[in-house]
Structure 1
Amino acid sequence: MNIPSIGVEEELLLVSATGDPLPRSKAVVDELTDDLDVALELTRAQVEINSPVCTSAGELHAHLTKMRAALAAAAAEEGGRLLAIAVPPHGRAAQLVTRKPRYEEMFARYGQLAREQGVCGCHVHVDVPDKNAAVWVGNHLRPWLPTLLALTANSPVYLDQDTGFASWRWLMWSRWPCAGAPPYLESAEHYDRLVGVHLAAGTIMDEQMVYWDVRPSTHLPTIEVRVSDVPLTVDETVLLATLARALVMTALRDGGPGPRVDPEVLRAAYWLAARDGLTRDGVDVLAGETVPMAQVVGRLLREVAPALEELGAVDLVRDGVERVLRDGNGAMKQRRAFREGDDVVALTEVGS
């Protein structure tokens, strides 16, 4: 089997010197050279970096490091700061919507929901042979999506409050009409029928608004894993991308439409992952059992072990997981800083 290529989109938050969302995304993007793929997002305080197609974890790490640094420098030129954080730590819930026809139409249709979606995720694209393969691979990935969320949770502090959740972004994002855990899909035709129902009902504007946590890409020959908060560090993003890549390779090797899991078991797993991240129990979706989240992560690593061997990424993933379990993910670090009266903005600032 050919090893699939990967690419990553990271959404990052612009804030002022005091840490409030800074609606200067267009000016910041205009500061950058044309060789960096940086895009505007739904609100004017968000920017998105898009890595090139990569064939190794080292290549991905180098690109993301360079792009984060360039964007942070551009933000500083506009009097701002760039944060690797998934929700605004200060300010108000409602943000200014970016002046693009698509985003203005979203505001017209969805009102306050659009203005309160200044949240930052991370999307991993992994190459797949075709749309049917993407649909079946998505079924294989469904049981592991809560585990990926728990590993990368980075949004406990929202508008000067500890929300009590490791990933408040995931709960906020789940309010969209076609978001969260994807349904079990029989085929590409089944996917198209369900999307057609949403389109006919007017709950989504177009297929780009299929915000399921894993989906066939609408414009690339990839499957897109969308479950994660934007991670605090590039190391964590590369860990996420490598695990997603290994899961896709495992699914392609296994073949078939993937395991059916009870939607309520999956829902429970998601909710615990969003609330507790790595700090308490999680749900082993395939077994239907509640166990410490570290054990669920261990089962994930065993699941993808052959693929990690093929990628030459066993040490990278083992060391990365050990580091996150030992030192904490972004949510755990933010919560410690918030509890001790330290500055969450400084903790999450790119380049700090």
Structure 2
Amino acid sequence: MEEEFLLVDPETGAPVNLADEVVAVAREQLGLDLERELTGAQVEINTTVCRDVEQARRELLETRRLVAEAARTAGCRAIAVGAPPLGEATGEVTDSLRYRRIAREFGALAEQQLICGCHVHVAVPDRETAVQVCNHVRPWLPVLAAVTANSPFSGGEDTGFASWRSTVWSRWPVSGPPPVFESWQQYEELCDTMITAGTALDRAMIYWDVRPATDLPTVEVRVSDVAATVDEAVLLAALVRALVAQAVVDVGRGVEAEPIPQETLRQACWGASNEGLRGSTLDVWSGEQRPVRQQLDDLVRRLTPVFEANGDLPAVQRGLRLLDGRGGGADRQREAFRGGEVESLLTLLDVDNADRAEPRATAAG
């Protein structure tokens, strides 16, 4: 799993370009290998290859705790949020060869990508299988997007979206749900076309919501905001893991994916990012508007045999209880910021919030 976090002023919540300082503290004092991102107000963590979601949960709890400590030492706060809720929604582009090239080619679009997502990787046997697995996963992208929708604010104002990050992200020319692909060759040919057209510099800029990973033998699901809590991140990971596992089996059996039109999926994803789990969006299977929470139930029922087989069902149930009891990340942000209380909002979003709220969670697993 990969999670991106936002660095902000500890009092005002405005983004601060202190990634270099936070990365240095993490590496030199805490032994944590943090990564820089596109802007200087972001950092990224990566788990190891996890054998189950409880391992991922333990790693995320510990790593988030270390990120929070590194940020405090560097004079800022690290928060788990999809887009900056306060201050300017732009950042200084990180001084690296690749990022400077992106800034040069894509202009202000790069500076405005001060957003934080969560990417879940699941191993697959080969590239041909990866393409077919993406076809099977793509109809569920709207539901996956809603699970961690966690960015309702921008510039201190309510955007009306559960995930404002999704709207900002959609400005990239290669983003959103991918088309259906017949083969790896067809996927490669379309990637080559985009690179030739200049809409992507390379395959790493093929920013579809689900794709074969560029450097790993995995399928990568990229549709989600960074989760407000570890348990929501683990729920997302469990859903993606089971979806991919079932898809690999289906591909092996010759089961073809439902070819949901790309534009249909785009409309459903927009609705999910707007409404979050407490709203409704287009159900791509029925063609009707349905509550997103009901669609999540459909997905969980579909995958329950997989959860039971791989031992992930308790983690799924724990995540669902959190969402049903307290609402999603966007809902909790709106509640915390109801009176414009900055500290209440930042405390909610601190990356080690779950670690502080559940001091025995790591030991309990």
SS of 2:151 mapped into structure 1: coil
Q: 1:29 aligns with which of 19, 23, 44?
A: 23
C-alpha deviation, 1:151, in angstroms: 1.1
Alignment match, 1:339: 338
- Separation in structure 1 between the aligned mates of residue 32 and residue 219 of structure 2, nearest angstrom: 23
The alignment-based identity, stated in percent, is 46
CA distance in 1, matches of 2:70, 2:33: 14
| 2:298 is aligned with 1:299 | yes
Could you say which residue in structure 1 is the equivalent of 2:111? 115
**Are 1:73 and 2:69 matched, yes or no?**
yes
Question: In the alignment, is the contact (CA less than 8 A) between 2:174 and 2:205 conserved in 1?
Answer: yes
Contact 1:186 1:257 in 2 (8 A): no
| Contact 1:37/1:51 (<8 A) preserved | no
Q: In structure 2, what residue type is equivalent to 1:14?
A: L
| 2:357 equivalent in structure 1 | none
Q: How does 1:321-332 map to 2 (within 5 A)?
A: 321-332=320-331
Q: Report the AA paired with residue 314 of structure 1.
A: L
What amino acid is aligned across from residue 351 of structure 1 in structure 2? D
Match in the other structure for 1:227: 223
Indicate conservation of the 8 Å contact 1:282/1:296, yes or no: no
Q: Distance in 1 between matches of 2:295 and 2:339?
A: 30
Please name the residue that 1:4 is paired with.
none
- Partner of residue 363, structure 2: none
Q: 5, 11, 31: which one pairs with 1:12?
A: 5
Partner of 1:183: 179
What is the aligned-residue RMSD (CA, Å)?
1.3
For the residues of structure 2 that align with 1:197 and 1:163, how far apart are their CA atoms? Answer: 35
Q: Distance in 2 between matches of 1:191 and 1:340?
A: 49
Match of 1:54 among 34, 41, 50: 50
In structure 2, give the amino acid aligned to 1:129.
P
Which runs of 5 or more residues in structure 2 are unaligned?
354-365
The whole-number CA distance in structure 2 between the counterparts of 1:176 and 1:264 is: 16
* Residue 203 in structure 1 maps to residue 196 in structure 2: no
1:171-225 CA-partner distances (Å, limit 9, x unpaired): 1001111111111111111110110110111111111000000000100000000
> 1:267-301: CA deviations, max 9, x gaps?
22111101000112122212222111121011101
User: Contact 1:278/1:325 (CA < 8 Å) preserved in 2?
Assistant: no
**Residue correspondence of structure 1 range 130-145 to structure 2 within 5 A:** 130-145=126-141
**Take 2:33 and 2:241, find their aligned partners in 1: how far apart are those partners?**
22
Pick which of 340-349 and 99-108 moved more. Answer: 340-349
Distance 1:263 1:204 in 2: 19
Give every structure 1 segment of 4 or more consecutive aligned residues whose post-TM-superposition deviation is greater than 4 Å: none
Q: Does 2:29 align with 1:43? A: no
CA separation in 2, counterparts of 1:198 and 1:33?
Answer: 37
Q: Which runs of 5+ in 1 are unaligned?
A: 1-7
Question: Structure 1 counterpart of 2:87, which letter?
Answer: G
Question: Compared with structure 1, are the counterparts of its residues 128 and 37 closer, same or farther at alpha carbon in structure 2 (3 Å cutoff)?
Answer: farther
Following superposition, the deviation at residue 342 of structure 1 comes to 2.9
TM-score by length of structure 1 reads: 0.95
**1:97 match: secondary structure:** coil
Q: How far apart, in 1, do the equivalents of 2:15 and 2:322 lie?
A: 30
> Which secondary structure state, in structure 2, belongs to the residue aligned with residue 32 of structure 1?
helix
Deviating more after overlay: 270-279 vs 336-345: 336-345
Partner-residue secondary structure (3-state), 2:120 = strand
Q: Which residue of 2 aligns with 1:309?
A: 308
CA distance in 1, matches of 2:66, 2:153: 26
Deviation at 1:257, TM superposition (A): 4.1
Deviation at 1:56, TM superposition (A): 1.3
| Aligned equivalents of 1:132, 1:332: Cα separation in 2 | 40
The alpha-carbon deviation at position 58 of structure 1 amounts to 1.4
Kindly tell me the number of residue pairs found equivalent between the two proteins: 345
Moved more, 56-65 or 208-217: 56-65
Deviations 1:120-179 (A, max 9, x none): 000000000011111111111111111011111000011111000000001100111111
What is the match of residue 289 of structure 1? 288
Task: State the AA in 1 paired with 2:348.
Answer: L
Q: What letter matches 2:170 in structure 1?
A: S
One-letter amino acid of the structure 2 residue matched with residue 341 of structure 1: G
SS at match of 1:140: helix
Local SS of the residue matching 2:199: coil
- AA at the equivalent of 2:3: E
For 2:121, give the aligned amino acid.
H
Q: Distance in 2 between matches of 1:233 and 1:322?
A: 13
Shifted more, 134-143 versus 308-317: the winner is 308-317
Deviation track 1:11-58 (CA, whole Å, cap 9, x = no partner) reads 000011221111010111011237533200000000000110000111
